[in-house]
Amino acid sequence: MSGNVTLLSDTLAKAKAEDRAALIAYLPAGFPTVDGGIEAIKAVFDGGADVVEVGLPHSDPVLDGPVIQTADDIALKGGVKIADVLRTVREAHAATGKPVLVMTYWNPIDRYGVERFTAELAEAGGAGCILPDLPVQESALWREHADKHGLGTVFVVAPSSKDERLAKITAVGSGFVYAASLMGVTGTRASVGAQAEDLVRRTRATTGLPVCVGLGVSNAEQAREVAAFSDGVIVGSAFVQRLLDAPDQASGLAAVRALAGELAQGVRRTP
């Protein structure tokens, strides 16, 4: 069974052909429950997301701010396992036909086994992985198995990345490049800032891969701002916050569906 990196690439190309940025949503698996998380992803797709990143909850998420940490804690206390993450990918993709990635730190994959994880992610219909803490120079084993199973390898670049480093990262990545809009952890912010635009410009100088921007985008206005200079807009904490604030599951699903709709309008770059 081959993974869906081609579906991911085609989805991003389709958005570009429509003269817009893609909307990429992030939600952790197992939050608020495994079943509830799957329904939330379906709702986000229904609202207008092009791609969803499924977070593999981690007890020490170095990139994630307090909102996603809170959701991860809930998922971990609920007993979420890698099997639940893979089930989330499988059911979300099967229900929508859209590309679903896993975003995870390296340690859980290393413990689980690279060959086993890539084979099972491909079998579940996954499009690939975002690996924020895997150094490119240590990624050969992962990339070998990801390539064998038709999975994309999305690396994260940051404003601190020098041009030479950007070129090394983009040379071996696939699917897209995740440009972290600013130094620090995930979370909604009042402004995404000029750092992101400069990072996208420098990254594009090294690669033909789409460059998608995450960290800080929470509303349609910010999505429109980022869509003006990027190939994709990544939103996570704002979706998670809507679920945390909801009094019940139905309200939470309605809230994330509505937010996806607002952001989907924002990425279309028109006032």
The set of catalytic residues is 53, 64
Query: Could you give the angle at which helices 140-148 and 114-123 cross, rounded to 10 degrees?
Result: 30
Query: Which tokens go with 156?
Result: 């994260």
Which residue, among 53, 16, 56, has the nearest Cα to 214 in the 3D structure? 53
Which residue, among 165, 177, 162, 188, has the nearest Cα to 66 in the 3D structure? 188
Question: Are 225 and 268 in contact, with CB atoms under 8 Å apart?
Answer: no
| Other Cβ atoms within 10 Å of 199 Cβ, number | 25
22-28 and 152-154 strand pairing: unpaired
Q: Enter the DSSP assignment of 21.
A: P
Query: Which tokens go with 160?
Result: 């601190």
